Structure 1
Amino acid sequence: MFALPFFRRDLPALKGDKVTLRVPLTNDYREWSTLRGESRAFLEPWEPRWQPDELDRTSWRLRIGRYREDYAQGTAIAFFIFEKSSGKLAGGITLGNIRHGVAQSGHIGYWIGERFGGRGMMTEAVELVSRFAFDTLRLHRIEAACIPDNARSIRVLEKAGFRREGLLRSYLRINGNWQDHYLYARIVDDPPGDGTKG
């Protein structure tokens, strides 16, 4: 049954040299809303348009509910990224659109707070989630999409061993506009990226 029995157990933290990943908890709200709020201008160009109540506690409760529902159904797992040295919340990464059967695939998306950018933390987080997807969930393929202008995200994916496979025209509505995206993918047999040590 692939991942279904796994999803019924508590998910352990994923630990690297720089970061620890764990599922979001209700009491993460204050730290999450502060980090997202102070990073808004940094994040908005790369994300769906923020709603007026984006950082409200009510929206947070709905978000946590969606995370739990997706997790229970085995279709997605959301992780928060914590800086290992300080224990501070640094960002988030989700393995979503998880499919089994003939596909055995998933899609990753991520964000990082502005003050934590450029430290190699996201590259390590992508590597940790990739290993989890391949080794624990037994997926065969992981995909990620990124806007061609997002040089930081391209660097993260390529350092984490993802390969560019093509251009998806007018793929996602980002910050109010339909945007082309590069499609990146990593297959279970691909060599690991070179960014886990740097």
Structure 2
Amino acid sequence: MFLTKSPSHPAFDPILVRDPVYLRTAKLSDYEQWASLREISREHLIAWEEDWAPDQLSIAVFKRRLASQAKDAKRGGGLSLSVFRRDDRVMVGGVTLTNVRYGASRSGILGYWIGAPYVRLGYGAKAVAAMLDHLFDAISLNRVIAACQPENIASQKLLERCGFKKEGLARDYLKINGAWRDHLIYAVTAADRVSK
């Protein structure tokens, strides 16, 4: 089915399950878990993310983040889900879809993060796989793009395990930790998923 406008809002407020994780939209009640996980993961995350503002982990910033995410979801322009361990509801990270395009493009950009205590335990790959199923099946995207720094071998392996193919290098792609960084560009298409 080819849509020229965004899908209905329910597709942008899902609960996704892929053992051992489940994904859902963040709530204000998640603040303590989110702030704690981000703080203990700061050293790990700042190598791969944009610069953190001094108030990055404040409740005010978290509320603004929730409002922005809700606005993006309502217009079909983005989807941000928190990732939890299914058995004990502990937050382990997050997965986002941004820059959603409809019409002839039907594409978006995938991002993800996993807290330092939970890296290399398979949670990230399961969360990305669940999100991809939703993006291709419920939102009918044709192409999902992701980027990672060449030094981030773990992220490259995660993307490849989830069916992404490396397409090239984007020079000075994102400003990370105070400097413009090159990023490898990966993508997966609906046709890739049919052929696997």
Taking the aligned partners of 2:62 and 2:49, their CA distance within structure 1 comes to 17
Task: Please show how residues 15-164 of structure 1 align to structure 2 within 5 Å.
Answer: 15-164=17-166
Instruction: Give 1:173's aligned amino acid.
Output: K
Deviates more, 1:2-11 or 1:151-160: 2-11
Change beyond 3 A, Cα 1:2–1:28: farther
| Maintained 8 Å contact 1:67/1:76 | yes
Taking the aligned partners of 1:20 and 1:36, their CA distance within structure 2 comes to 19
Q: Note the residue ranges of structure 2 that are not aligned, 5 or more in a row.
A: none
Aligned Cα RMSD in Å? 1.8
Number of residue pairs the alignment of both structures matches = 194
Instruction: Give 2:47's aligned amino acid.
Output: P
> What TM-score comes out, normalization by structure 1 length?
0.93
Instruction: Give 2:56's aligned amino acid.
Output: E
Q: 1:142-182 CA deviation, whole Å, 9 max, x = no partner?
A: 00000000011111101101000000010000111100000
| Maintained 8 Å contact 1:67/1:78 | yes
Taking the aligned partners of 2:173 and 2:71, their CA distance within structure 1 comes to 25
| Maintained 8 Å contact 2:93/2:115 | yes
| Maintained 8 Å contact 1:143/1:186 | yes
> What TM-score comes out, normalization by structure 2 length?
0.94
Taking the aligned partners of 1:186 and 1:145, their CA distance within structure 2 comes to 12
Deviation at 1:17, TM superposition (A): 1.3
Q: Note the residue ranges of structure 1 that are not aligned, 5 or more in a row.
A: none
Structure 1 consecutive aligned stretches of length 4 or more whose deviation exceeds 2 Å? 1-6, 8-12, 191-194
Deviation at 1:97, TM superposition (A): 0.8
